[in-house]
Amino acid sequence: MDTNGDCLGVVLAGGRSLRMGADKARLQWGGQLLIDRAVAMLRTAGCTRVLVSGDYPGYSHVADRYPERGPLGGLASVAEVARESRWLVLAVDQPLVDAALLRPLLDGLLVGVESARCLCRYGEEPLPMALMLSPDTRRWMQAAVAGDSGHRSLKALQERLRIHALPADAAMRARLRGANTPDEWQTLLASG
């Protein structure tokens, strides 16, 4: 597998945002849409191409082919069209994550690959993450989202892969927070 090739940035923005009551990708952070901020952060971190997981005309996007299958369904949808093996994945609702937080994940992924680890994240935090997507992992994702098993989560994907975890103290974990509800969004706005 080519570890020096192009890196694909993936913005997880699919889903219905039911708990938020509004499309999270269209929320404003510092005068910028969250979707625009996430795309910009991935590009600044070094991704040569960025795809948005979800139906977002006007952006390079991949509509969810596996509705109601969560973030893993979004990743599986992207895997059907993207050939890059190195991915950097960011949730659209993580506005405190910047390129300076993303770059170490890519660096850690390269170190991890040397020791047969194919996923890099901060501590136990599922996102953002960098991963090497092998053909076997692509097949596993397709089978997981197509079936009715309990293996349709990011956690299941991450448990399947060998992880290189970077340290994450309390301040770092606070920057990795996302927002699923209006109250969580207000907390993020107050901290930003």
Return the structure tokens found at 129: 């993450």
- As averages over each run of 10 residues, the pLDDT of the chain (192 residues) reads 71 85 92 97 96 95 89 94 95 96 89 73 94 90 81 83 89 92 93 80
Domain presence at residue 1: no
- Specify the 3-state DSSP secondary structure of 83: coil
Q: Examine residue 148 and state whether it is found in any structural domain, yes or no.
A: yes
- The Cα 154–Cα 129 span in angstroms is 10
71-84 burial by CB neighbour count: b if 16+ within 10 A, else e? bbbbbbbbbeebeb
What are the residues facing 149 on neighbouring strands? none
CATH number at residue 51: 3.90.550.10
The reported pLDDT for the residue numbered 115 is 63
CA torsion 135-41-98-37 (nearest 10°) is: -120
Report if residue 2 sits inside a domain.
Answer: no
Give residue 181's domain range.
7-191
Copy the structure tokens of residue 192.
Answer: 């930003």
How many domains does the structure of the chain reveal? 1
Does residue 15 lie within any of the structural domains? yes
Inside any domain, residue 128: yes
- Is residue 46 situated within a structural domain? yes
Looking at the domain assignment, is residue 102 inside a domain? yes
* 79 belongs to a structural domain: yes
pLDDT at residue 192, rounded to an integer: 73
The pLDDT value given to residue 70: 87
